[in-house]
Each structure stands twice: as structure tokens, then as C-alpha cells.
Structure 1
Amino acid sequence: MTIREVLAFNLKALRHEQGLSQEELAHRAELDRTYVSSLERNVYSASIDVVERLANALNVDASDLLKRPKTKKMMS
């Protein structure tokens, strides 16, 4: 997995765990919903500032978004 794939996987997983829609997460992080969607689909790469905003919106450490998952399951 590339770091972009890791971010996409973790972002989607954490958002789902917290029961948030892409729209709600985008609102909390002050981002556009389509940008969040693109990050989750690995279309765009995120700046470190965006990673921090997403982490804050999810109440996790930025490093949690960049940790390689222990499972080999890839994003669907």
C-alpha cells in the first residue's frame, strides 16, 4: 500500500467507525465533501495540513490516519 492508499483506507474506516457522513466530516474539517470523497478514493493526495484538519475532525492523532493497517484487506 502506498501512503495515499493508507490515508484513503484509514480515513474511510475511521469515518465509518464514528458514523459520520462524508458531508459531516467535510463540514467539521472545513473541506469540501467532494474533496473528502476524492481522498477516500485515492484520487488526490492530501497536504500535511489537510491530514491534521481531518485528524482533528475525527478526534484522532494525525499519525492514526497514516498508520499502515495490520490487515491486508484493501479498500473496496
Structure 2
Amino acid sequence: MPAGEPLSTSVSCSKCPHCRRTKQPWVAPPCAMAGLKDIVAINVRRLRHEKGWTQEELADRVGLSARYVGQIERAQASMTVSVLGRIADAFKVDPAELVARSRSRQ
């Protein structure tokens, strides 16, 4: 997906100047790392909702605190590659799916 194209789920990151100024749906911010945390947050939340799990249930399955899972879903925490892998294993998806931008559903 080209940079600047909106994700399927709108998120206002409130971190980059663009989002603070425009209050528009999230578009890839200038900082690639901030963008990755937002993408992971959207994907983890989406997959958790698809499974019908609470944050506590996901945390128990992965061996994390519910507070940390909440921080991941709000893009307020970075995670190690091993945690990314454990979360992917819990959802039975490839870890790449957690960092991939979603295409808009039509």
C-alpha cells in the first residue's frame, strides 16, 4: 500500500503534528516506528475482536499483563520480536500479518 493511503480502520494517533492539527483519520506519519506501533495496535485489536477475546484473555494466552496488552492496542508500548511472535501464535497467524497494513474493505 502506498505511503499516505489511509488504513481500513481510522485512528488518530495524537502524536504526530498532522493528527494533532487536522484531527483527521490516521495516515502513515513521518516517523516509521510510530506508524508500525499504530499498525500493530490496529491489527492486534482487530484480531482480538474477531476471536471474541478480552484483553485479559489475550494476555493470559500470551503470558503478558492485561495492562501491557492495552498499551500495545493503544500504540503506547513497543514490543520485542519474541512478544510479537507469541501474540501471532495465539491468533494462529503469521507474525507479518501483525505489522502489515490492511487494505480498505470494499
TM-score scaled by length of structure 2: 0.65
Output the CA distance in 1 between the equivalents of 2:91 and 2:66. 15
Q: Which position in structure 2 is the counterpart of 1:41?
A: 74
Q: Which position in structure 2 is the counterpart of 1:51?
A: 84
Q: Which position in structure 1 is the counterpart of 2:64?
A: 31
Output the CA distance in 2 between the equivalents of 1:65 and 1:48. 11
Structure scoring higher RCO (CA < 8 A, sep ≥ 6) equals 1
RMSD: 0.8
Q: Which position in structure 1 is the counterpart of 2:55?
A: 22
Cα offset for 1:58? Answer: 1.1
**Larger helix proportion of the pair:** 1
Stretches of 4+ moved more than 2 A in 1?
Answer: none
Q: Return 5+ residue gaps in structure 1 as ranges.
A: 72-76
Cα offset for 1:32? Answer: 0.5
Q: Quick check: 1:10 aligned with 2:39?
A: no
Cα offset for 1:70? Answer: 1.1
Amino acid at match of 1:57: A
Q: Which has the larger radius of gyration?
A: 2
Cα offset for 1:10? Answer: 0.2
Output the CA distance in 2 between the equivalents of 1:65 and 1:20. 17
TM-score scaled by length of structure 1: 0.89
